[in-house]
Structure 1
Amino acid sequence: MGENQVQHEEPNGPESPLWKLFLVGSIAAGVQFGWALQLSLLTPYVQLLGVPHKWSSFIWLCGPISGMVVQPIVGFSSDRLVSRFGRRKPFIAAGTTLICLAVLLIGFAADIGYKMGDDFNKKTKPRAVAFFVAGFWILDIANNMVQDPARAFLADLSRHNHRKMRIANAFFSFFMAVGNILGYAAGSYNKLYKLLPFTLTKGCDTYCANLKTCFFIDIIILVVLVVIALNVVPEPHFTKTTDHEDPFIVQVKSTFRNLGRPMWLLFLVTALNWVAWFPFLLFNTDWVGKEIYGGDPTSKDNPTMVKIYDNGVRAGSLGLMLTAGVLGFMSLAIDPLSKWLGGARKLWGVVNFVLAAALALTALVTKVAEKARKTAPPYAPPDHGAKAGVLAIFAAMGIPQAVTFSIPFALASIFSSDSGSGHGLSLGVLNLAIVIPQMFVSLISGPWDQLFGGGNLPAFLLGAVAAFIDGILALTVLPPPSSNT
């Protein structure tokens, strides 16, 4: 064991005003803009590069794997970093730089593949896929480097005040909604590339050029928000004491051994919640393009089917904008709704039933769309009933999403504050309850869907069952936090 600088928060430091929480929370808008592009456009895009649907979910393993490794390390390190720039800010700045590099690599993957010899008359473009996946890995690592320190920064600014922790995480969730709206709006506009005409090249068609343009916009938004927040909001002062510190692995093991019953139950409810969420997050626009619109992204002999699929993906992006809008309003209502229902855990339980119902209704809306296609002219768009059903499901998803993006992190900050453990490491460890279910879903969703004949509904219905069970657990076993304003 060596001697390291361990930082302890000054117990009587001044409380941070809400505007500081607001500015730090705004970083989420820049990060989530990129996430919105990932969730709405990258699964379809990787299929356009020639990766089959049943294998595309495996590409998403990079996010859970990197999160499982990166977030605890970043959280642990940011709790102990001693620098004149602060302990959270250097990680946020480094992660932002990596995000910019990663989105450029993803955006130019097709161009690089074309220059290196990919034949775009063939179904699969292996070089483009390789650079896409490399950029995807870097992007997920970088996102984890920004999000955990940003949430820990908010917890530091809250100064052990439970209500401010809830408000801070509600701000973070609100700005995630703002980022989603901007990202989905950009992703749904199929002529955005005209703002930057150089993005359209021989190796990069209009879909690819739009994606590339979206990522350029993402870089601008993220950098502006991060620069403002890091320069305007100072980190709280910490006293530095020399103490015997164990290595990272020993510290994580010790953290798990010392976790109280509330944190373990929080992990359980969070994990099941993400088993419910992740299939829809992975395949929502793919579901609209295939099951609702009836398109096929791999149909090289019939470009009309590819266009129909693309129209469905863009309709799904519009639906995701509705999700984000409801998410924003719901984020601002979390604190009063929690008080009205008698606690955040009760709100979490109730909205899980909303999530279960919305996921189950995807099957009904799909059947309506399929039935209408049988009597409609060839290549006709879905009827109004199917479209309305899709948009209603997407809008309803914003209600539980606001809770998923805020309450688990607020509870983790509260529990860690009560126990005296570092916010960074505690939030990093909580991330394991998110990424392990994501790995599980990524591994089984493709084979699971194929087992039941392909498509996305089997994974969605599995998520509905998980959400229903999770609602019961949140209401019955998750303990309330100790009383503290």
Structure 2
Amino acid sequence: CTSRFGRRRPFIVAGAGLVTVAVFLIGYAADLGHSMGDQINKPPRTRAIAIFALGFWILDVANNTLQGPCRAFLADLSAGNAKKTRTANAFFSFFMAVGNVLGYAAGSYRDLYKMVPFTMTESCDLYCANLKTCFFLSITLLVLVTFVSLCYVTEKPWTPEPTAEGKASNVPFFGEIFGAFKELKRPMWMLLIVTALNWIAWFPFLLFDTDWMGREVYGGNSDATASATAKKLYNDGVRAGALGLMLNAIVLGFMSLGVEWVGRKMGGAKRLWGVVNFILAICLAMTVLVTKQAENHRRDHGGAKTGPPGNVTAGALTLFAVLGIPQAITFSIPFALASIFSSNSGAGQGLSLGVLNLAIVVPQMVVSVGGGPFDEIFGGGNIPAFVLGAIAAAVSGILALTVLPSPPPDAPAFKTGAMGFH
């Protein structure tokens, strides 16, 4: 980007704007659907579902539009210093955890909608109104921090390097992406492979963790034909899963602050990443034990209509919390390594991080589309995908320790778009 506002900042502003549009569509999906003809008492409300899906798709695009340039901007500010790059990404992970905790806390407050009373409408009940209010708060915070950050940190406009003919290179976007793949060196390819396997391990749990709590751990059912008791158990499990996610975010935040120190003690970033992948594998495998204990309790107590015993719930919540440790590493180390390796890849930081993001979104699409059918092959439930994730995590850990190159302790500075503080 050759904008006079800088190389990264226009994309950050665009990403923040897209997030605003997306959460508006998601929050007002029920109202917009009703205004377009959906009948409140006659589900399914297809128009609301379509608007919600559109908003969620835009939100996914917006998150990538926002986070990619933010991480590239951090790498620019680190000016090629490996330690600063790792520390910057660790703090990025920390503030993601802070946002998660604030979001879970706001979402757990039943009367949050009273802060913005007009959010409750004929087509939007209490829970919907609370969601809208959360979105209003999040948009306000997003606009505020984006404005402050971009006013405080400045960039000088970036000028592409001239070609042999003395003209600036003007390669289309997809041409740059394909060119980036052609120019990638072995360290980046190894990083992409390890990252893809790592996210194949993560996505089954990230997508279905609360469903696992509701179905396998609490023994509930969310199907329309399920009994009221089964639905209540499922909802109780989902709420317990939300508590687990908050514990996960808290551990994630604290671990993010210690990534650099722990990495030094363990002999480097790649060794740390490899070891925590085994922690991820163990935790995913332990979901089998927790599920079996919950099933045994229900079998021994005639269905156990009151949910699992305390020790089973505690075990499940412990898994959520412990998973915050490898998640902190996953949110920081791969991106730091991509920025460091990009100094020799020929692709540049922005494109290298974009290519790395493909190693995340492709596994996400594969798991999203194939997770359900894969589970059905083995009898349904979430456990088959979790076990596959445990295997992928173990393989990712082995590759991280054996084939992933070690980055230098302090990589030399490389050419980036100029920037400064004021």
Corresponding residue for 2:334?
Answer: 408
Query: 2 CA distance for matches of 1:196 and 1:296?
Result: 33
Q: What is the SS of the residue equivalent to 1:482?
A: coil
Alignment counterpart, residue 457 of structure 1, candidates 383, 392, 401: 383
Query: 2 CA distance for matches of 1:97 and 1:419?
Result: 32
- The residue identity in structure 2 corresponding to 1:384 is G
Contact 1:276 1:462 (8 Å CA) reproduced: yes
Alignment counterpart, residue 97 of structure 1, candidates 5, 8, 17: 17
Corresponding residue for 1:249?
Answer: 174
Q: 1:189 to 1:361 in 2, by over 3 A?
A: farther
Point out where structure 1 has 5 or more consecutive residues left out of the alignment: 1-80
Counterpart check, 1:167 vs 2:87: yes
Percent identity among equivalent residues?
Answer: 60
Q: What is the SS of the residue equivalent to 2:169?
A: strand
Counterpart check, 1:286 vs 2:211: yes
Counterpart check, 1:109 vs 2:29: yes
Query: 2 CA distance for matches of 1:208 and 1:307?
Result: 19
Q: What is the SS of the residue equivalent to 1:285?
A: helix
Query: 2 CA distance for matches of 1:392 and 1:301?
Result: 29
Query: 2 CA distance for matches of 1:276 and 1:377?
Result: 32
Alignment counterpart, residue 296 of structure 2, candidates 347, 371, 378: 371
Counterpart check, 1:386 vs 2:312: yes
Q: Which moved more, 1:338-347 or 1:248-257?
A: 248-257
Contact 2:7 2:158 (8 Å CA) reproduced: no
Query: 2 CA distance for matches of 1:134 and 1:170?
Result: 32
Q: TM-score, normalised by structure 2?
A: 0.91
TM-superposed CA distance for 1:297, in Å, is 2.3
Q: 1:117 to 1:371 in 2, by over 3 A?
A: farther
1:208-357 equivalences in 2 (<5 Å): 208-235=128-155, 241-242=161-162, 243-299=168-224, 302-357=227-282
Query: 2 CA distance for matches of 1:393 and 1:456?
Result: 15
Q: 1:383 to 1:230 in 2, by over 3 A?
A: same
- The residue identity in structure 2 corresponding to 1:339 is R
Q: What is the SS of the residue equivalent to 2:289?
A: helix
Contact 2:2 2:159 (8 Å CA) reproduced: no
Contact 2:23 2:59 (8 Å CA) reproduced: yes
Query: 2 CA distance for matches of 1:455 and 1:192?
Result: 34
Query: 2 CA distance for matches of 1:95 and 1:414?
Result: 24
Q: Which moved more, 1:299-308 or 1:193-202?
A: 299-308
Query: 2 CA distance for matches of 1:361 and 1:173?
Result: 25
Query: 2 CA distance for matches of 1:88 and 1:434?
Result: 21
Query: 2 CA distance for matches of 1:211 and 1:369?
Result: 31
Counterpart check, 1:202 vs 2:122: yes
TM-superposed CA distance for 1:249, in Å, is 2.9
TM-superposed CA distance for 1:453, in Å, is 2.4
Counterpart check, 1:424 vs 2:344: no
Q: Which moved more, 1:425-434 or 1:181-190?
A: 181-190
Q: What is the SS of the residue equivalent to 2:224?
A: coil
Q: 1:378 to 1:420 in 2, by over 3 A?
A: closer
Query: 1 CA distance for matches of 2:295 and 2:110?
Result: 26
TM-superposed CA distance for 1:193, in Å, is 2.8
TM-superposed CA distance for 1:377, in Å, is 7.4
Contact 1:449 1:456 (8 Å CA) reproduced: yes
Alignment counterpart, residue 132 of structure 1, candidates 52, 76, 81: 52
Query: 1 CA distance for matches of 2:100 and 2:302?
Result: 34
Contact 2:5 2:157 (8 Å CA) reproduced: no
Q: What is the SS of the residue equivalent to 2:307?
A: coil
Number of residue pairs matched by the alignment: 405
Q: 1:342 to 1:302 in 2, by over 3 A?
A: same
- The residue identity in structure 2 corresponding to 1:408 is P
- The residue identity in structure 2 corresponding to 1:389 is G
Q: 1:216 to 1:431 in 2, by over 3 A?
A: same
Q: CA RMSD in A?
A: 1.9
TM-superposed CA distance for 1:163, in Å, is 0.7
Contact 2:3 2:157 (8 Å CA) reproduced: no
Contact 2:188 2:345 (8 Å CA) reproduced: no
Q: Which moved more, 1:312-321 or 1:447-456?
A: 447-456
CA deviations 1:263-308 (Å, max 9, x no partner) are: 1000000000000000111011111122222222233664443333
Q: Which moved more, 1:225-234 or 1:107-116?
A: 107-116
Q: What is the SS of the residue equivalent to 1:478?
A: coil
- The residue identity in structure 1 corresponding to 2:255 is M
Corresponding residue for 1:44?
Answer: none
TM-superposed CA distance for 1:226, in Å, is 0.9
Q: 1:151 to 1:484 in 2, by over 3 A?
A: same
Q: 1:434 to 1:307 in 2, by over 3 A?
A: same
Corresponding residue for 1:441?
Answer: 367
Point out where structure 2 has 5 or more consecutive residues left out of the alignment: 163-167, 412-422
CA deviations 1:384-425 (Å, max 9, x no partner) are: 011101110001110100111011100000011244542111
